[in-house]
Structure 1
Amino acid sequence: MVDPSVKIPLNVSSLVGMVFPLLAVYFVTALLVIFPGTVVWRRSLLPFTLWLGLRVGACLDVSGGDPIKAQANQSHALFTFMIVMRCIVWAVYSDQVRPIPGTPADANVKRASVRAALQNACDLALGFRELSWQGPSKPRTLLQVPPSQQRFPFLRGRILSVILHLILGDALLFALQSFSPELSTPGGGSVFDPSLPASWRYLRSTTMTFLFGTLIYVTTRTVYDAISVLAILILRQSPSQWPPLFFSPWRATSLTELWGDRWHHLNRSYMVALGAKPVSRIFGRAAGVLGAFTISGLMHDLGLRAVGRGSDFVAIFGFFFMMGVGVVMESAWKSMSGRLPSGIGGRLWILGWLGLWGNRAADAWLTRGAAASGLVPGPYRPFKLVWAFVTEP
C-alpha cells in the first residue's frame, strides 16, 4: 500500500529502491517505443511504471526534512507525473515513434548502432517537447528562430541566461516577500489582506499574482537553460535539440497564442494524446481543448498536494480549466468576427482573464509556502548579494 502521509527521505536506499527503478523503466520504454513491434513490451512495463510513479510522486521527500524546502516535493511530483503520463502515451500507442527527417535523431537511425539507439532514447526521454519525433502527438513549432548550431556561442548565451535569470528570479522573490513577512515562512501568507478596502485589497492581490506568475516563468526558464547546458556538455547533444523554451509570452494578444505558441510545451505531447484527441473525437474540438486543460489542472493540483500541506482543488484546477474555457471563448469569437483578439484589447483581455482566475490560484500556492525559498540558498541569494554590493557605503 502507498501511504502519502508517510514520507520517505531521499537517500541512497530510496534512490536505489525507488528513483532508479522508475527512471530505468522510463528510459527502457523510451527505447522500446522507437522500435517497431514493441507495444506488448511497453504495455507490460506500464503497471510497474504506474506503481513506481505513485510511490515516488506521493511518498518521496526531497526536501531533506527542511519545511522551507518542501516546495521541492512539488517539483519532483510534477516531473514524476510528466514521465508517467508519457509512458502511458507510449504504451497506448500501437505504432512506433519515428524521427522527423533531417533531425539528429533521424541521423542516428541511419547509423543503426547500439550507441545511436541509446542516444535516440536519451533524446526522446529528455526532450519532453519531442521536437525530433513524430508519433501520437506531433510537435508544435514555436514562433522562434532556431538556436545557433555553434556550441560555444550557444553555451555562452545559455550560461549568461542562467545567471541573469537567477538574479531576476531572486529579485521577483524579494519583491513578493516584501508584501508580508509570512510569505518567507513555510506556512506562507495570503495575497488577500482583509484589513484593506476592497479596491486596494484586489490591487494588492493582483499585483502579487502577476509577480508570482512571472516568478514561475523565470524559474522554469532558469532550470531549462541550466539543463540544456549540461545536456550539451555531458551528453554531447546538439544546440538544435534545445531551442528556447518560451517565446516572449508577454507579447501574446490572445489566450490561444499565449498557451498554444508562446508558453512552454513540456506537457503538450501527453495532454494532446490523452486529453485533447480522445475527447475531441467524441464531443468535438471545444471539448478536446477542455480535456487538455483538465489534465493540466489535475497535474498541478497533485503537485501542490505533494508539498504535504493539502491543496485548494477549486482554485488550482479551476485556474487551468478556465484557461481552456477562455480559449474556447476565443474560438467562438473568431467564428463570429473572423479573427482572434489582438492589439491592446487582446492584451487587456489576457490580463483580465489571468487576473480573474489567478488570484485564488496564487493564494493557494502562496499560503502553502511557495515563496518561502528560491533556487539559491538564503545566504547566497544573488539579488541580495548584488543589492548589498550596490548599497554598501
Structure 2
Amino acid sequence: MPIEPQFNNPFLGTSLRDFWSRRWNIMVSQTLRQLVYDPVAPRLGPAIGLIACFLVSGLMHEVIFYYLASTRPTGEVVSFFLLQGLGIIVEHIVKRATTWRPPKIIACPMTIGFVMISAFWLVFDPLLRTGANERVLEECMGVITFLEDVARAVLSKIRN
C-alpha cells in the first residue's frame, strides 16, 4: 500500500499559506481543513475558519507537550500556531493590496525565517525550559535498551 508523503519540500515554501497548506504535514493540513475549516468558514468566514484550524492545531500540540513535559501548558505553543494563522491573513491582505510579489529567492527565506524564528521563540524555548527534550531522549534510550535486551535474549535462545 503506497503511503502519501507528509512533506513537500517545506524549505521551498514561498508564503506561509504555501508552507502550511501544501508543504508541511500535509495529512494533518488536509484533516484540519475537512474537520475544522470546511464547517467553520461558510458560517463565520474564511479568516475565522483559518484561525480555528490553527487554534485546534495549537491545542493538539499543547496536549502533546503536556504529555511530554508533565508540566502545565503555558499557551506559548497555541500562540505560535495563532501567529502563523494571523501571518497568513496579513499575507492575503498584502497580496490583495499590491501586485508586487517577492521573487522565490527572497520569499523562501522570508517564509522559513518567520516560521523558524517564531518556533524558536514560542515552541523550542518552552520545550527546553521544561526539560521535555531530555525526557524524550530518556524515553528513546529506554526503548533502545529494551530492544537491545530483546535482541540479546532472542540471539541467546537461537545460539543455544
One fold, TM greater than 0.5? Answer: yes
| Aligned counterpart in structure 2 of residue 299 of structure 1, from 60, 63, 75 | 60
**What residue ranges of structure 2 are gaps of 5+ in the alignment?**
145-160
Conservation of the 8 A alpha-carbon contact between 1:248 and 1:262: yes
| Aligned counterpart in structure 2 of residue 309 of structure 1, from 71, 92, 109 | 71
Conservation of the 8 A alpha-carbon contact between 1:318 and 1:357: no
Q: Equivalents in 2 of 1:331, 1:348: separation in Å?
A: 18
| Aligned counterpart in structure 1 of residue 127 of structure 2, from 365, 371, 376 | 365
* Structure 1 residue 289, shift from structure 2 partner: 1.2
The answer to whether structure 1 residue 344 and structure 2 residue 105 are counterparts is: yes
* Structure 1 residue 306, shift from structure 2 partner: 1.8
Q: Equivalents in 1 of 2:39, 2:104: separation in Å?
A: 34
Conservation of the 8 A alpha-carbon contact between 1:254 and 1:342: no
**Counterpart in the other structure of 1:254:** 15
**What residue ranges of structure 1 are gaps of 5+ in the alignment?**
1-236, 381-393
Q: Which has the bigger relative contact order, CA under 8 A and spacing at least 6?
A: 2
| Structure with more of its chain in helix, by fraction | 2
The answer to whether structure 1 residue 266 and structure 2 residue 27 are counterparts is: yes
* Structure 1 residue 333, shift from structure 2 partner: 1.9
* Structure 1 residue 244, shift from structure 2 partner: 2.4
* Structure 1 residue 341, shift from structure 2 partner: 4.7
| Aligned counterpart in structure 1 of residue 90 of structure 2, from 312, 323, 329 | 329
Q: Equivalents in 2 of 1:293, 1:339: separation in Å?
A: 27
The change in CA–CA distance for 1:331 and 1:267 in structure 2 (over 3 A counts) is: same
| Aligned counterpart in structure 2 of residue 278 of structure 1, from 26, 39, 58 | 39
1:28-71 CA-to-partner distances (Å, cap 9, x unmatched) read xxxxxxxxxxxxxxxxxxxxxxxxxxxxxxxxxxxxxxxxxxxx
SS class of match (1:371): helix
* Structure 1 residue 291, shift from structure 2 partner: 1.3
Conservation of the 8 A alpha-carbon contact between 2:20 and 2:29: no
Q: CA RMSD in A?
A: 2.5
The answer to whether structure 1 residue 377 and structure 2 residue 141 are counterparts is: yes
Q: Equivalents in 2 of 1:342, 1:276: separation in Å?
A: 30
* Structure 1 residue 311, shift from structure 2 partner: 2.1
The change in CA–CA distance for 1:260 and 1:269 in structure 2 (over 3 A counts) is: closer
The change in CA–CA distance for 1:375 and 1:309 in structure 2 (over 3 A counts) is: closer
Q: Equivalents in 1 of 2:105, 2:24: separation in Å?
A: 19
Conservation of the 8 A alpha-carbon contact between 1:311 and 1:364: no
What code does the residue aligned with 1:370 have?
A
Conservation of the 8 A alpha-carbon contact between 1:309 and 1:368: yes
1:143-165 CA-to-partner distances (Å, cap 9, x unmatched) read xxxxxxxxxxxxxxxxxxxxxxx
Conservation of the 8 A alpha-carbon contact between 2:54 and 2:82: yes
- The structure having more radius of gyration, on CA atoms, is 1
Q: Equivalents in 2 of 1:256, 1:364: separation in Å?
A: 25
* Structure 1 residue 268, shift from structure 2 partner: 2.8
TM alignment of 1:120-199, pairs within 5 A: none
Q: Equivalents in 2 of 1:319, 1:329: separation in Å?
A: 15
Q: Equivalents in 1 of 2:108, 2:58: separation in Å?
A: 23
| Aligned counterpart in structure 1 of residue 5 of structure 2, from 206, 231, 244 | 244
Q: Give the TM-score of the pair, scaled to structure 1.
A: 0.32
1:163-204 CA-to-partner distances (Å, cap 9, x unmatched) read xxxxxxxxxxxxxxxxxxxxxxxxxxxxxxxxxxxxxxxxxx
Q: State the percentage of identical aligned residues.
A: 25
What code does the residue aligned with 2:80 have?
F
* Structure 1 residue 275, shift from structure 2 partner: 2.0
The change in CA–CA distance for 1:342 and 1:322 in structure 2 (over 3 A counts) is: farther
Q: Equivalents in 1 of 2:3, 2:44: separation in Å?
A: 36
Q: Give the TM-score of the pair, scaled to structure 2.
A: 0.74
**Counterpart in the other structure of 2:155:** none
